[in-house]
Chains A and B, each alone.
Chain A
Amino acid sequence: GESVGLHLPTLSVQEGDNSIINCAYSNSASDYFIWYKQESGKGPQFIIDIRSNMDKRQGQRVTVLLNKTVKHLSLQIAATQPGDSAVYFCAEILNQAGTALIFGKGTTLSVSS
């Protein structure tokens, strides 16, 4: 599978590989994080979220890992499919009283069959 240690704007993988998309968030006071998938011409689609009191959360084919020490978030997609091709954004909310999502730089995932 493909993995990256630092944020890359693009990631190309083969169908069936595992993908890892990385994100560095900005504020140590952030306590809620979301991964979104955005296809061309569509709005961001919720994938998975995680609170700051957790370091891992699993969904269907996706896993989010949170490392608060280095302010790093990653999204792992198992058995990547062509339908997973999209731009992926991580987003954070600063604290319990905060409301606005702060989006990171997106990663364009391209899956070839």
Chain B
Amino acid sequence: GAGVSQSPRYKVAKRGQDVALRCDPISGHVSLFWYQQALGQGPEFLTYFQNEAQLDKSGLPSDRFFAERPEGSVSTLKIQRTQQEDSAVYLCASSLNRNSNQPQHFGDGTRLSIL
């Protein structure tokens, strides 16, 4: 498809396990963003990539969260030693270039449940 693709759509893990969430941005989009959305809330920024460079990771809640985009296309968000408070929807968005006046287009997210 032409949109942002995220996988898996749903992930259930036991507390303490590591998880990896994948994002395929729109082809040709330079900028890629990860957001976390708690139930009933708006998305909150986690981290931003321009091509393969992670330029802003100020929103990552702890050092258990790690994101990469090694070839400037697909990105992976990894959460180590998951905790129950990590349960949320993780959204990926991409935009055409680094100009902030470009809309970010979102995928449908990965719903993460930590038991």
Are A100 and B91 CB-contacts (below 8 A) given A34-B103, A43-B108?
A: no
| B104 touching A42, Cβ below 8 Å | no
In chain B, positions 72-115 with a C-beta closer than 8 Å to chain A are 91, 93, 98, 100-101, 103-109
Identify which of A41, A42, A51, A99 gathers the most chain B CB atoms within 10 Å of its CB.
Answer: A99
Say whether B13 faces chain A, with CB atoms less than 8 Å apart: no
Interface size grouping (class) on chain B: 20 to 34
Partner among B44, B48, B109 whose Cβ is within 8 Å of the Cβ of A103? B44
Contact B33–A43 (Cβ < 8 Å)? no
Binds B, one of A12-20, A70-78, A90-98: A90-98
Closest to B4 in A: A43
B-side interface residues toward A, CB under 8 Å? 4, 31, 33, 35, 41-45, 48, 55-56, 59, 91, 93, 98, 100-101, 103-109
